[in-house]
Amino acid sequence: MLRDITIGQYYPAASAIHRLDPRVKILSTFVYMIALFVVKNFVDYTYILVFLGASIFLSKVPFSYMIKGLKPLFLIITLTFGINIFMTKGEVLYQLGPLDITKEGISQAVFMATRLILLIIGTSLLTLTTSPINLTDGIEKLLNPFKKVGVPAHELAMMMTIALRFIPTLLEETDKIMKAQMARGADFESGNILKRAKSLVPLLVPLFISAFRRADELAMAMEARCYRGGENRTRMRELSLHTRDFIAFIVTIFVLVAVLVNRFA
């Protein structure tokens, strides 16, 4: 299950999406999220699906790889579906004890589950097609205007990128610890939810120790290389916008405008 988590991972490929400026991809992701939450009916999802499908196709990231990232979040998606299907009032179709399954509840449950799935796939496409270095540079460039009010742009960008970068590393470490504990007789799969949660306690202690050790090693390595933040720092490759970046962002804005028009027209 842990190996299926794709958040923070980078999928190298020579695609049109990979070549886009990271600033454009970050802003396009935010616009995509806004459009996704503006949607009010299933018809508007057509624009989102076409846009997302084209983006995945152009990124050359296998669709099966994108779907694999949904497996660890299956419980959250199921919980969202169940809450909406039982808590939405309307025309009762079936009674399950004290709970009513309504026509409106089914529609709302499918709608919200679809939104969550599209949100996960769309946002994971950002990290899958952007290397950690480019992601750091993109976030820093976007935060540069806020330096005038005292926002440490470089430090924030570095922290966010390191956090994303170490998600796969910590997951790999968790998998190793779990296998070591299971070899010693630990059971993480049987029993109810409370028992499973309790069985994770021996897993958390060595995981936290490993995380702190890695953080200390990273800090020492950065100090040994005389890292002093973003001041007077140069880059081998400076970010620059091209025609393809403007076209990609305009297409994203067009999707948002189409959704807004359909909602308020």
DSSP classification of residue 230: S
What tens-digit pLDDT sequence spans the chain (265 residues)?
455 566 667 888 888 899 999 899 999 999 999 999 888 888 888 889 999 999 999 999 888 888 877 776 777 888 888 888 877 777 777 776 777 777 788 888 888 888 888 888 888 888 889 887 788 788 888 888 877 777 777 778 778 777 777 777 777 787 788 777 777 777 666 666 666 667 777 777 888 888 888 888 888 888 887 777 666 666 667 778 889 999 999 999 999 998 888 887 7
Read off the DSSP letter of residue 191.
S
Encoded amino acid at 159, one letter? M
Long-range contacts of 38-42 (CB under 8 A, 24+ apart): 38/256, 38/259, 38/260, 38/263, 39/115, 39/259, 39/263, 40/263, 41/262, 42/111, 42/114
SS3 253: helix
pLDDT, one tens digit per residue, over 212-241 is 888 888 888 888 877 776 666 666 677 788
Cα distance between residue 137 and residue 86, in whole Å = 45
Task: Report how far residue 261's alpha carbon sits from residue 138's, in angstroms, rounded to the nearest whole number.
Answer: 30
* β-strand pairing of 99-102 with 92-96: antiparallel
Q: For 102, list phi and psi in degrees, rounded to 5.
A: -110, 160
Question: ∠ CA(14), CA(156), CA(137), 5° rounding?
Answer: 30
Range of the domain at 172: 2-264
- Work out how many domains the chain is built from and give that number: 1
Burial pattern 58-75, b for ≥16 Cβ within 10 A else e, equals ebebeeeebeebbebbee
